[in-house]
Structure 1
Amino acid sequence: MRYAAIDVGSNAIRLLIADINQDGKEVTYKKNTFIRVPLRLGDDAFLDKKISERKADELVKTMTAFKLLMEVYNVSDYMACATSAMREATNGDEVTKRIKEEGNLDLQIVEGQTEANIIYSTHIAEELDFNKNYLYIDVGGGSTELSIFTKGNVEVSRSFPIGTVRMLDNADTPETWEEMNKWIKANTRIYKNLVGIGTGGNINKLFRLSGEKEGKALSIAKLNEMYQHLSSFSLKERIGVLKLNPDRADVIIPASEIYLTVMKWASVKQIYVPRVGMADGIIQVLIDKNLKS
């Protein structure tokens, strides 16, 4: 059995096809195929407040191709979610209708809180120390989702319109940063030794570049050191010398700034990077849904 997850983000569109294995009551999955298309819808949504005709056409083509791939892979169930860029685009609903009509695929635009719920449905906190408290930080192109876990349960969660593409487009505001600062201070001050969990493509890349062993935490000092190192290169050098993909080479800088700022405000000294994201959360949502049915 195979499930598919489509994550229509502000920076890229992702398709994850996963093989589902059931052993008694335990259901696990293994990643089969992963495709990422750097469409960057956020440039349109955050600056013009609508998806341009050109990008809408590209999105429809991408989603149609994903639908065909799902048929080839005999996918039995799928879920497609659009986040920050499509949330803010005034023509988001119009574009989803086109995708349904031309690509025969259902795409739902999810709110920030729903996005956060999907991301932490991966049950990551359950795999970590039950006695520790965690701040879950997911940084995307258009938004940052923050959740506090204690004893494996979500205590409080919030989505903020601060993201990498939004920052590159100078579409973030000082007021939003101040709001996030206040929320972090108000909700983390009662916890001592709060540990970070970081998800998103940029923190995954930063972790790989760090050379740390899988399962080890990344210290805020090491993350800051890497940020300073990456910032010392021009965008062209990050692509040519450091061999970063063009659509990663620019966003990795604001992503580092968001993670470092959140960790500093929350007094988080280390962060675990479990290499999961929105698409993994969608697969888990599908597993949970089909287990109940």
Structure 2
Amino acid sequence: MRFAAVDIGSNAVRLLFSEVYTVKNKPLLKKITLIRLPLRLGEDAFSRKSISEEMAVKLEKAFVSFKNLCEVYNVVSYRACATSAMREALNGEEIIDKIKSSTGIKIEIINGKLEAELIYSTHVAEEIDEKGCYLYVDVGGGSTEITLFNKGKIEDSYSFNIGSVRLKNDLVTKETCIEMEEWLKQIKKKYKPDMAIATGGNINKIYKMCNLKDYALLSVKQLKEKCDYLEKFSVEERIKKLGMREDRADVIVPACNIYLAVAKWAEIKNFFVPKLGLADGIIYNLWQEQQKKGA
């Protein structure tokens, strides 16, 4: 069965098409196509509190293309989810209504807790001890979603307005940083999490740069070393010498610093990086819903 997902983030929009096979009552996801569109909605939403007309038009065009691709790939079902940028934009609902009117596609604005559940529900839980206690940390362009999973269940969850795009543009307040520090220290004291599960495009890039084997842990020391290394290069040098995309090169260091801050305040020494994102979680969720229907 084929499914499709759209992840409307603050730094980019991702369109994922996957074939899902059911093997021994478990899903096996095979990626058909992943299209990453460099639509940085967060630049508008966080500084001007609204998404520009130019960006809104581009987003609508992306959904027209998505609808056509769904027909070409003959997908069983699809789902589109938006995170912090669309949550904060005062004209977010207006844009969603316009896209619904022109394409028939309804975009859901989801909170950090649901985002964590969707990603965790994929095979992440199968690669770690589900009886353990973990911090799930997703650093996006506009926010950092932190969820405490204990024995496979959510005990606590919080969304902080600290993201890579915000940090790059000096839009993170001191009060928000203090709030996150105090929350993490309380979590550490109460639950003593074993490690953190880290998701997000920037941590995936760092993981790849470290040449680690799949499911090997990324130590805080390794993350710090790579962050220090990247800081030696200008944004232009990261693009030209390291081959990074422009919309990755300017936010990867701010993102690293957020992960490092989480590790420091929660006293975490290692990150498990499943290299999955919201779009993967959506695909898995769509497969689950299809199974319930008896398909």
> TM > 0.5 between the two?
yes
Would you say the 8 A contact 2:13–2:38 is kept in 1?
yes
Task: Tell me which moved more, 218-227 or 170-179.
Answer: 170-179
Query: How many angstroms does 1:192 deviate by?
Result: 4.3
Cα deviation per residue 1:172-207 (whole Å; 9 max; x = unaligned)? Answer: 111111111111111122344621211111000000
Give the letter for the 1:56 counterpart: A
Other-structure match for 2:20:
20
**AA at the equivalent of 2:71:** E
User: How many positions carry a matched residue from both structures?
Assistant: 293
Alignment of 1:61-210 (within 5 A): 61-192=61-192, 194-210=194-210
Separation in structure 2 between the aligned mates of residue 23 and residue 253 of structure 1, nearest angstrom: 40
Asked if structure 2 preserves the Cα contact closer than 8 Å seen for 1:203 and 1:273, the reply is yes
Residues 84 and 142 in structure 1, CA contact (< 8 A), matched pair in contact too: yes
Q: What is the SS of the residue equivalent to 1:122?
A: coil
What is the CA–CA distance in structure 2 between the aligned matches of 1:228 and 1:166, rounded to whole Å? 20
Residue aligning to 1:231: 231
Contact 1:116 1:158 in 2 (8 A): no
- Cα–Cα, structure 1 residues 230 and 108, in superposed 2: closer, same or farther, change >3 Å? same
The aligned amino acid for 2:271 is I
Question: TM-score, normalized by length of structure 1?
Answer: 0.96
1:66 positional shift: 1.2
AA partner of residue 214 (structure 1): D
For 1:192 and 1:122, the matched residues in 2 are separated by 24
- Residue deviations 1:143-194 (CA, integer Å, cap 9, x gap): 1111122223322222211111111222211111111111111112234462
Percent of aligned positions that are identical: 50
Cα drift, residue 70 of structure 1:
1.2
CA RMSD, Structure 1 to Structure 2 (Å): 1.5
Q: Distance in 1 between matches of 2:76 and 2:254?
A: 38
2:287 equivalent to 1:287 = yes
Query: How big is the shift at 1:284?
Result: 1.5
Equivalent pair of 1:239/1:246 in contact (CA under 8 Å): yes
Match of 1:278 in 2: 278
